[in-house]
Amino acid sequence: MEAQARAPEDAEVLALQGRITHQLGDPDQALVRLKQALELSPGYAKAHHYVGYIYYTQSRFDQALEHAERACELVQDDVDMLNTLGNVLLQRFEYERARDVLEKAANLAPDNYLSWNNLGNVHNALGNLDAGLDSYHRAHRAAPSAPGPFSNLITTCHYHPSKSAVEITALCKQWHDTFPPARPKSTFNIERVADKRLRIGLISDGFRGHPVGRMITSALEQVAPEQMALFFYSTNNVSDGITERLKAIAERWMSVQPMKDAQVTEQVRHDEIDILIDLAGHNAGNRVMAVADRLAPLQVKWVGGLINTTGVEAIDYLISDAIETPAGVDGDYVEKLIRLPDDYICYVPPNGYEPSVQPLPALENGYITLGCFNNATKLNDVVLEQWAGIMHALPGSRLFLKSMQYQSQERCRQIRDTMASHGVDHERLIIEGPSSHVDLLDAYNRVDIALDPWPYSGGLTTCEAFLMGVPVVTLPGPTFAGRHSATHLANAGMPELVVHSWEEYRERALELASDLESLSIIRQHLRQILLESPVCDAPRFARHFTTAMRAIWQRYCEGKSPAALTFDEAGQATFDGDSQPVALVEPEVMESDEGRFRWSFTGKVIVLDNGAKLMQRSAGIYGLLKLGAFGVVAFDSASRVTNPERFATSEDVQLLPHAALGDGQPATLYATLDPAASATLEPLPAERLSPEQAQSTRVVTTLPVNTVTLDSIEGLDSLDWLVLDDRHDAMAILEHGEQALKDTLLLQVRLAFQPTHQHQPDFAQVSHWASRHGFRFYRFNDEHHRSQLSDDVPANHRQATELESADALFLPSYERMTTLSENQRTKLAFILDVVFRAKDVAHDVLHAVSPETAKRYMAYSTQDKLHQASRSEKSSDQSVTGGGHRHAASATPRLNVSYDWRLNEKIHVVDIGANPIDGEPPYKAHLDRGMVSLVGFEPQRQALAKLNAMKGPNELYLPYAVGDGKPTRLYLCQAPGMTSTLKPNTTLLNHFQGYPLWGKVNQVEVVDTVRLDDLGEVGQIDWLKIDIQGGELTVFQNAEKKLKDTLVIQTEVNFIHLYENQPLFAETDQWMRDHGFMLHTLLEERKRLYAPMVLGGQIHQGINQLTTADAVYIPTFERMETLGCNALKKLGVIVGEVYQSHDLAMKIAVLFEKKFGGSAASIMGMEGEGSNSSASKPPISHMGS
């Protein structure tokens, strides 16, 4: 009885935890909590409601219905629960039930605008536009400050056949006064530089197989990347083939779906966007309130809810054409019109899956089939009456309607009843619901003539009908929304299909139907006509789009107000009031000389790119190709390169699809759910991956792939630069390419520090191969850090601390460098300069060619100041190879997180090399708070004395040199920080600034060493910090017993041989992997400057040559699962409070809760705007087009 009495209370706690967890961005874990609550209390209505709501947000409508219905059975008059149920029913196309539920909610709480707004959506779906408008008016009166109902009013009026253009435009223009900007006129700290590379932001929920995605993607792919950087802000989390194409050209991609408007504003402003393009308007997924507060200096409206003026005065321009916005309508728009010379969109045909056009169906059927596959909301009594008249004139004809709304039997019944009232029997109607895109296109093979709706015309559907050989007859409506088809038809070369009256509409349809032979000929050629027209001419559209963006930006830089911009047929653009076309100032394109340092070498730099990484980064590859100095052979086994035909005519690029480098044997391509994870390496078992990784690497199909060895490639006279990804067997490629690589200048190998596929090489394997074959490690590039937080956590809280992958760059060893010819050295310096902006090492390489050449190069480098750009994140983001090195902190938001782990014992820390010269150790704050018990080792007498003089009650310092237990030499150097049991490598140190002096040996002592495993003074080690200048691996090898339960190891690692016989990072990393640790992050990555360059009057901070870093290792996830209660707490404290890895700390808190109970939310809490406080309410859904 006691357990039963406590159950409701426990269930309430679990449900609250579930709700908080969902708001923190983890819906799956939230569902676990909520279902636990329901197991304790099956009749807990709030838990059912929230489960139903989460399923609704995940589009899992069947599961959502079960719980939403149960919640409403348990509590029959809860308005929020009724709204959730009504929205779920709407998405399941159960319109009658949805209407009844939402009417009940509205009557229960007439002042709740959500109920009226959602009811309006149901009325519209049923075709009852007057009832929809009435509901939206009620919603607006109930909450005048809520933008959703007013946006829906505007959109619905464009569908309504009795609304005039004057009436609709007046309503649109009320927006600004109804929703004035929340802040005063915005100012931006963005330089007004006319010839800069523009930062273009695009915001929409349509970056997918959606009218927006299918009308912008191919054009944006053709925009010259040196002209603009594209930043995509997606308001949903849907991803498909279109999404991947857009991601491939994105400078940055971000989902802002869970963010509040203020957070979106902050993010876009932080990105310093020059021009923000809105692609949502008043439609679903819009951020119109954020746009109204102005996100960028210039704001532009383009596709996506583009049906009229937005009424948003903060939008400066609207992209259109002369048909959508004919002369004389400028006064109807608050925006200034950009009239492109052709269509205002660029249609994106399917990527090869479009069905073949079949013969005219009327030839076999003996009757004409008319069709309309538009959104059913566009059908009204006026349209249906006109269509009925055409059908009467075509005896036996059929009308084929297809749309998602036709899953509703009530909507189908309304259509049939309306047509019956006009004398068309039910048997003559074919009404179908939604299908896959390929099946939708194939359905056009059953249609002879397409009829466009009115007053809101088709857009994408018109293009798709043409693609399938079906002509479309259209009567333009009174607004922009009504002229979509007209501009597509006219620009596709079929203006005769655009009519001016219903009488002419009927005549045109009957003309087409009266001559089946001509209709058949039209059907055979329409696809070609469309594809060869400006409607699909992506390069042409991209040129005009670029001109428009540069022109309006240039005008802004000149301090002029926005003005209408009109293109002539030649593509020249003129602002209203100007007599001459705009003389554009273009951004500077990367050049190899022209007033700069003049590179001189024979032959091109030959690049082999396995995985086609370079080809997927458009900005980089175009920049390289324009130099005329590179020849690229790219193997694209997984077809990752979008629009490969753009390289078909290039003499400098050979793109080989469905092939890969390897061992010469047939291989298997594992095509995965996430195309980026497709590989010739089999994905790891799901249990060894995170849920997200397991999902993305789920194999969809397998395909055979041919591999070739490097050594077998004929005609490959030289190979200067080899690029290997982590989706193929890099070791097999290297081992079968010894001859081809013997003179190679640069190896670039992608390494997965957290493997996702079998046989992915680790750093040790690649480093050992490179060392044996005349290469040395240079540095990491394009580091990628993974967040442990879910995608739903807002961007400003999405910390990413775990080093997931990076490119390892290898150069010729110092020994082999001496054998390179002058031409090879110059090529290498050229690559390092123009690709990686590595000025110091490029200078070092050139110095061996000629000191005078190096001097001229250094003078150029200083004047050009590119060395500064190479160290800035913005410049790194534009690197051809994926960006320069980035520290985790530079790409990670700072969070305000507090912890309450309630430790009941101290953290046992061992610090080997505790010399206070290095400043405060990472455990200092916790030591001061009495949370740490410390044992430190320091063999240098002066340093030890200083430590003992400062020590507190929880500190013990020992004078031992830790190692293998044998006597060894201690090399006391000029700089105490370089003192080591290893001898400094003077040959290498002489290449750098500073090191020759710092590494000078002043004295050599023989010291005894102790094994950590043999020391009784050291018991449990929770956290090891070690920095002993190259002797770290020896310590690990002699401390396996002491370290088997250690939680965190922070060790200095070395990337070049500063000391003779020094183990490098590869060996350390291998030991860690073999003993149950994984790399978490690299801290304090230290770079040194090559001599003789001096940078800004200093020699301490290098540019790119990575020498040392502190590597932080933690238990593997498998070992983490086995940790006890106190161990997990200590690990959480160290990673969260010390290393600020809040994402990992949250993961540990969730694991702790799973194993030992308690609450992850009580252990850690985020302050600020991290949660989506509106998530508990049923959403306002907006109408789509």
> What pLDDT sits at residue 306?
94
Helices (H), 222-303: 241-249, 261-270, 288-292
> What pLDDT sits at residue 183?
67
> What pLDDT sits at residue 1122?
92
Q: What are phi and psi of 991, to 5 degrees?
A: -75, -15
Q: Please say whether the beta carbons of 879 and 835 come within 8 A.
A: yes
113-125 helix and 147-159 helix, angle to the nearest 10 degrees? 20
714 vs 274, which has greater pLDDT? 274
> What pLDDT sits at residue 1104?
78
Q: Please say whether the beta carbons of 876 and 883 come within 8 A.
A: yes
Task: Give the C-alpha distances (Å, rounded to integers) separating 123 from 148, 434, 513, 848, 1019.
Answer: 16, 20, 35, 78, 73
Task: Indicate the pLDDT class of residue 854, thresholds 50, 70 and 90.
Answer: confident
> What pLDDT sits at residue 861?
63
Candidate from 4-13, 72-81, 337-346, 725-734 with smallest mean pLDDT: 4-13
Are 650 and 799 contained in the same domain? yes
Beta bridge partners of 911: 936, 1025
Q: For residue 821, how far is the Cα from the chain centroid? A: 43
Q: Is the pLDDT of residue 725 over 80?
A: yes
> What pLDDT sits at residue 1179?
33
Q: What are phi and psi of 252, to 5 degrees?
A: -150, 140
Q: Is the pLDDT of residue 167 over 80?
A: yes
Q: Is the pLDDT of residue 780 over 80?
A: yes
Instruction: Work out whether the CA dihedral 82, 84, 86, 89 comes out positive or negative.
Output: negative
> What pLDDT sits at residue 868?
39
Q: Is residue 323 included in any domain, yes or no?
A: yes
Q: Is 220 exposed, middle or buried, given 0-12, 13-18 or 19+ CB atoms closer than 10 A?
A: buried
Q: pTM of the full predicted structure?
A: 0.55
Q: Is the pLDDT of residue 735 over 90?
A: yes
Q: Assign residue 166 the CATH number of its domain.
A: 1.25.40.10
Model pLDDT for residues 490-513, shown as the tens digit of each residue: 999 999 999 999 999 999 999 999
Average pLDDT over residues 61-90: 95
Q: Is residue 243 included in any domain, yes or no?
A: yes
Are 1062 and 913 contained in the same domain? yes
Average pLDDT over residues 46-66: 90
Q: Is the pLDDT of residue 595 over 70?
A: no
Task: Indicate the pLDDT class of residue 928, thresholds 50, 70 and 90.
Answer: confident
> What pLDDT sits at residue 1182?
38
Token reading at 1113: 């290792």
Q: Is the pLDDT of residue 1123 over 50?
A: yes
> What pLDDT sits at residue 886?
33
Average pLDDT over residues 355-359: 95
Q: Is the pLDDT of residue 4 over 60?
A: no
Average pLDDT over residues 576-586: 92
> What pLDDT sits at residue 792?
59
Are 617 and 762 contained in the same domain? yes
Domain boundary among 786, 819, 852: 819
How far apart (Å, rounded) are the C-alpha atoms in residues 98 and 989?
76
Are 683 and 709 contained in the same domain? yes
Q: For residue 505, how far is the Cα from the chain centroid? A: 46
Interacting residues of 739 by C-beta distance below 8 A, sequence separation 6+: 710, 711
> What pLDDT sits at residue 875?
33
Q: Is the pLDDT of residue 249 over 50?
A: yes
Q: Please say whether the beta carbons of 159 and 282 come within 8 A.
A: no
Q: Is the pLDDT of residue 582 over 90?
A: yes
Beta bridge partners of 260: none
Q: What are phi and psi of 612, to 5 degrees?
A: 55, 40
Q: Is residue 11 included in any domain, yes or no?
A: yes
Task: Give the C-alpha distances (Å, rounded to integers) separating 420 from 124, 371, 385, 590, 663.
Answer: 21, 17, 10, 68, 70
Are 219 and 294 contained in the same domain? yes
Q: Please say whether the beta carbons of 111 and 1142 come within 8 A.
A: no
Q: Is residue 1176 included in any domain, yes or no?
A: no
Average pLDDT over residues 569-591: 84
Q: Is residue 851 included in any domain, yes or no?
A: no
850 vs 34, which has greater pLDDT? 34
Domain boundary among 802, 819, 836: 819
Task: Indicate the pLDDT class of residue 1180, thresholds 50, 70 and 90.
Answer: very low
Q: Assign residue 266 the CATH number of its domain.
A: 3.40.50.11380
Q: Please say whether the beta carbons of 993 and 1094 come within 8 A.
A: yes
Average pLDDT over residues 157-168: 96
Q: Please say whether the beta carbons of 462 and 377 come within 8 A.
A: no
Query: What is the DSSP annotation of 525-570?
Result: HHHHHHHTSGGG-HHHHHHHHHHHHHHHHHHHHTTPPP--EEE-TT
> What pLDDT sits at residue 638?
85
> What pLDDT sits at residue 617?
54
Cis, peptide link before residue 1092, omega less than 30° from 0: yes
Task: Indicate the pLDDT class of residue 890, thresholds 50, 70 and 90.
Answer: very low
Model pLDDT for residues 93-122, shown as the tens digit of each residue: 899 999 999 999 999 999 999 999 999 999
Average pLDDT over residues 906-910: 94
> What pLDDT sits at residue 871?
33
Q: Assign residue 918 the CATH number of its domain.
A: 3.40.50
Number of domains into which the chain is organized: 5
Q: Is the pLDDT of residue 864 over 70?
A: no
Model pLDDT for residues 297-316, shown as the tens digit of each residue: 999 999 999 999 999 999 99
Are 934 and 1039 contained in the same domain? yes
Element (H, E) at 1080: strand 1077-1087
Are 512 and 552 contained in the same domain? no
Q: What is the mean pLDDT of the chain?
A: 86
Q: What are phi and psi of 699, to 5 degrees?
A: -75, 125
How far apart (Å, rounded) are the C-alpha atoms in residues 600 and 262?
53
Q: For residue 252, how far is the Cα from the chain centroid? A: 6
> What pLDDT sits at residue 657?
85
Tell me, what amino acid is at 1057?
H
How many helices (H) does the chain have, and how many strands (E)? Answer: 46, 37
Look up the domain containing 81 and give its range. Answer: 2-178
> What pLDDT sits at residue 22?
73
Are 280 and 259 contained in the same domain? yes
How far apart (Å, rounded) are the C-alpha atoms in residues 728 and 665?
13
How far apart (Å, rounded) are the C-alpha atoms in residues 391 and 424?
8
Model pLDDT for residues 442-496, shown as the tens digit of each residue: 999 999 999 999 999 999 999 999 999 999 999 999 999 999 999 999 999 999 9
Are 1080 and 1104 contained in the same domain? yes
Are 259 and 407 contained in the same domain? no
Are 435 and 322 contained in the same domain? no
Task: Give the C-alpha distances (Å, rounded to integers) separating 805 from 778, 786, 880, 1082.
Answer: 16, 9, 17, 12
CA angle (367, 373, 374) in 5-degree steps: 140
Q: Tell me how far apart the 2 most distant CA atoms of the chain are, in Å.
A: 109
Q: Is the pLDDT of residue 884 over 90?
A: no
Strand segments, DSSP code E, in 159-227 are: 198-204
Q: Is residue 426 included in any domain, yes or no?
A: yes
Model pLDDT for residues 943-996, shown as the tens digit of each residue: 888 888 888 899 999 999 999 999 999 898 888 788 888 999 998 898 888 888
Q: Is residue 1163 included in any domain, yes or no?
A: no
- Please give the share of the chain, as a percent, with pLDDT higher than 90: 56
Q: What are phi and psi of 683, to 5 degrees?
A: -60, 150
Q: Is the pLDDT of residue 894 over 50?
A: no
Are 387 and 302 contained in the same domain? no
Q: Is the pLDDT of residue 903 over 90?
A: no
Task: Indicate the pLDDT class of residue 1169, thresholds 50, 70 and 90.
Answer: very low
Q: Is the pLDDT of residue 386 over 90?
A: yes
Q: Is the pLDDT of residue 1170 over 80?
A: no
Candidate from 422-436, 551-565, 874-888, 919-933 with smallest mean pLDDT: 874-888
Domain boundary among 1101, 1127, 1153: 1127
Highest mean pLDDT among 398-402, 581-585, 1014-1018, 1124-1128 belongs to 398-402
Q: Is residue 1036 included in any domain, yes or no?
A: yes
627-657 b/e (C-beta count within 10 Å ≥ 16 → b): bebbbbbbbbbbbbbbbbebbeeeebbebbe
Q: Is the pLDDT of residue 1177 over 60?
A: no
DSSP designation for 578: -
Dihedral (Cα; 241, 246, 247, 248), 10-degree rounding = 90
